[in-house]
Amino acid sequence: MMAMSFFFGEELSDFLFSGWTTSSLSLFILSCMAIAVISAALELIKFCKELLHSKAKKNPLTYAQTEDPLDRSPLVQPLVIPSSEAHIRRRKIRYHIAESCMHVVRVLVAYVIMLAVMSYNAWMAIAVVVGSGFGYFLLGAAMTSLAVPQTEPSSHSCDRQVSREHQGAASHEPESEQAPAFAQAEVYT
């Protein structure tokens, strides 16, 4: 009978598949290491999916085709257009297919990890947590940099002029009519 609460033991019969049994300590440690690697691989799959998603959402003007790659100077870049709408559609479809495949693989690996934890072996659960933590440690910073869009501050002279005028007008208002500082800052962000 299968245990219905976590236990610390080294013998598992039919762990994930019918032939996977851990009768010795070395096989059990190897199984824990395999589950930890699979958990870390799940973090890698998440990272790859985020990378694909960020590339799929890229502006078509940034990957436009030109005759000569040296023509992509900062002055010419805004004038470059994509080769065609069909090219953009094909690119989006390819990325969508790749993201869908990554999703299927991610769900499959996540279910394998869930089955490992459902064995109620505490060492296997610890291996899952350690593997996932290690994978996130390696790829977490890169994943968060993909998720946060990089915005540049506005450098337009008219924005700076309007901002200066607003600050000047706000300083001449009586105390009771002045908006709080946080409200003034959000007007022109």
Q: Are residues 114 and 56 in the same domain?
A: yes
Q: Are residues 113 and 142 in the same domain?
A: yes
**In this structure, is residue 29 part of a structural domain?**
yes
- pTM > 0.95: yes or no: no
Q: Are residues 112 and 140 in the same domain?
A: yes
Number of domains in the chain: 2
- Split at pLDDT 50, 70, 90, the class of 64 is low
Q: Are residues 105 and 166 in the same domain?
A: no
For residue 100, is pLDDT > 70? yes
Tell me the C-alpha to C-alpha distance, in Å, between residue 100 and each of 53, 56, 77, 108. 11, 12, 32, 12
Domain of 84, in residue numbers: 25-150
**In this structure, is residue 3 part of a structural domain?**
no
- SS3 state at 65: coil
Q: Which two tokens stand for residue 19?
A: 């032939």
For residue 118, is pLDDT > 50? yes
pLDDT at 105: 95
**In this structure, is residue 55 part of a structural domain?**
yes
Q: Are residues 52 and 137 in the same domain?
A: yes
